[in-house]
Chains A and B, each alone.
Chain A
């Protein structure tokens, strides 16, 4: 089988997956009989001709409708990403919009109401302070999601910059920068965080900084490997031959092709940050009173674990798990989507270029 044929075979499922017929250039171009052309996702070209010529509301409506159809088709094609994304949106709505309809008192202690099993009025029961679990799940979730999103995005940005610079510079600078990453990765994030929190007084801003500061390393590895491969791509070399400068090459060729990897990595970084934040809070070194997050809720529950108050652990535990799994699914799904949409090389894992050794997607 020739390379050509292999590519045609690979393209096959994509076409049928989307249900959108590839643009048939064959009809217009009888000159080229080579293998089945890879189809175009979303078949933009099919609409470009007719849609552009009769301007008007009808055409716009048609374009809108087709865009929605394409969106739906994409959702059906990537159930993993759709489910993950859906859960993330639902959880965010639950945490931020939920308190608008479900009012609870999260500030006062009602010892008479302490440790109630789930019942009407308290669908998820109450905790040791007599606070409603469901309401606390919402406010705690706000803290968890906000901080984790901030830390995750920050880590991805930091790591991408570091990795891109190392990969672009190469040579000795690359070696030194990557040994720093190796050293950082060698110390478990939680241990490093404990060391830091034993010295510094934790604040919300510092938590974000510290979590990002320990998480960016895996992104740096990933993006460096990506930069190294992209730099050797033939289309980048073609741009060099054309006389394109480094700025243009990075902006027009490397960045757009690396963006898939980075977007996927952001989702994993957020999942990771949720886990780290929960762990820190559970250790009593996370967000400080009066803020409470999901990790705090479990921390107070584990202290009374021998009493068997299962709802106090299961509810926040399930919330954390659900969100982390949702982000991981979203990331895995996006990776599939990106690679099928023709993005260049979205690696399955953090691979270092000089040895074929990948690490896990996150953590």
Chain B
């Protein structure tokens, strides 16, 4: 396992470096003095590689630059918005997992039944509905018409502050969770169908295990292994969804900040935030692979 993980870690480092290269390359290719805006006037005459290395060195030392619009460093903006986004994505992903795993499993066990068809229709619906439409509909009914919840996300700062305002947090979390459930449940269903077809499930039944026992201890376990990796792989999508949700609910997290910066052509901020998100996603994917290695003994214990 150590070898496997070490190799994956090396890959992750390569991916992170490539992310920085792509992000910087896109900015560098842009017309006008965009690069200068990021690096300062001294860099105008430098070659691409030199500029990239200068920038990379700065980034590695923790300096993401200063906003062109606000009198603040990118790092400070990040420190303010990152916890808020973490709460939103973390809570939503957790809820999505708690719902999608049983739902997908139920669909697989009751394959082709009415329950399966109805749930399948619902996951199609959540898959096809853009988050801003879903969120808007929720606002329209739960906030505007019935006043159950707030139409805007919590405005308080810090993780504690956000969590202390469940009335405003509910709708953003619900929106993001529903979208994520659609991804996970679809996948869990096909993963569980695969496991159900396996002969070891039949063998477990032949040992007299009740259906519940067979499903919990054999099917669920084996279907979860690929789902864990899916969480890592869908991190970018979840963050993309979070961006839309933050803007819709005026919830000032990282997505909202990027959008503000993009609208105002504040390149240092978009650049810095994009970089952080990309690196986080690459690391998340690595973490998911570690989880996968822990769950699957075939990876954890290699054959002697």
Contact = CB atoms under 8 A, between A and B. Distances in A.
Q: Is there a contact between chains A and B in the complex with CB atoms less than 8 Å apart?
A: yes
Interface in A195-244: 195-200
A172 to B, nearest CB: 12
B282 interface: yes
Nearest to A307: B144
B224 interface: no
Contacts of A298: 130, 132-133, 136
A282 B241 CA distance: 13
Interface stretch (A24-32, A69-77, A271-279): A271-279
A185 B236 contact: yes
Contacts of A101: none
Given A308-B144, A320-B130, A322-B128, A179 B11 contact: yes
Interface string B263-278: 1011100110110011
B236 A187 contact: yes
A317 B151 contact: no
A317 B133 contact: yes
A12 to B, nearest CB: 16
A19 interface: no
A313 B137 contact: yes
Interface in A325-363: 325, 328-329, 348-349, 355-361, 363
B96 interface: no
Contacts of A282: 130, 132, 244
Interface in B177-201: 183, 186-187, 190
A199 B285 contact: no
Contact of B140 (A186, A190, A278, A313): A313
Given A183-B19, A360-B186, A279 B145 contact: no
Nearest to B18: A183
A187 to B, nearest CB: 4
A308 B137 CA distance: 10
Given A186-B236, A187-B236, A313-B137, A325 B125 contact: yes
B277 A357 contact: no
Contacts of A284: 263
Nearest to A187: B278
Contacts of A310: 140
A199 B234 contact: no
B267 to A, nearest CB: 6
Nearest to B29: A199
A192 interface: yes
A194 B258 contact: yes
Contacts of A317: 129-130, 133, 136-137
B22 interface: yes
A265 B233 CA distance: 18
Interface string B224-250: 001001100110110110011001100
Contacts of B27: 195, 199
Nearest to B124: A325
Given A298-B132, A310-B140, A283 B230 contact: no
Contacts of A358: 187, 226, 229-230
Nearest to A84: B124
B128 A349 contact: no
Contact of A183 (B30, B278, B289): B278
Interface size grouping (class) on chain A: 35 or more
Contacts of A313: 133, 136-137, 140
A305 interface: yes
Contacts of A302: 132, 136, 248
A324 interface: yes
B262 A195 contact: yes
A186 B292 contact: no
A8 interface: no
A285 interface: yes
A357 B229 contact: yes
A321 B128 contact: yes
Nearest to A271: B128
Contacts of B22: 183-184, 187
B240 A188 contact: yes
A360 B130 contact: no
Contacts of B119: none
A203 to B, nearest CB: 14
Interface in A280-328: 282-285, 295, 298, 301-302, 305-306, 308, 310, 313-314, 316-317, 320-325, 328
22 contacts: A183-B18, A184-B22, A185-B236, A187-B277, A188-B237, A191-B239, A191-B258, A191-B273, A194-B270, A195-B274, A196-B26, A200-B30, A282-B132, A284-B263, A302-B136, A313-B133, A313-B140, A317-B137, A321-B129, A324-B127, A359-B230, A360-B186
Given A198-B261, A316-B133, A323-B128, 20 more contacts: A182-B282, A185-B233, A186-B285, A187-B22, A187-B274, A188-B236, A191-B240, A191-B258, A194-B259, A195-B271, A197-B262, A282-B130, A302-B136, A305-B140, A317-B130, A320-B133, A324-B129, A328-B127, A359-B234, A360-B183
Interface of B: 11, 14-16, 18-19, 21-23, 26-27, 30, 34, 124-125, 127-130, 132-133, 136-137, 139-140, 144-145, 151, 183, 186-187, 190, 226, 229-230, 233-234, 236-237, 239-240, 243-244, 247-248, 255, 258-259, 261-263, 265-267, 270-271, 273-274, 277-279, 281-282, 285, 289, 292
Top 4 A-B pairs, shortest CB-CB distance: A183-B18, A188-B240, A324-B128, A317-B133
Interface of A: 179-180, 182-192, 194-200, 271, 275, 278-279, 282-285, 295, 298, 301-302, 305-306, 308, 310, 313-314, 316-317, 320-325, 328-329, 348-349, 355-361, 363
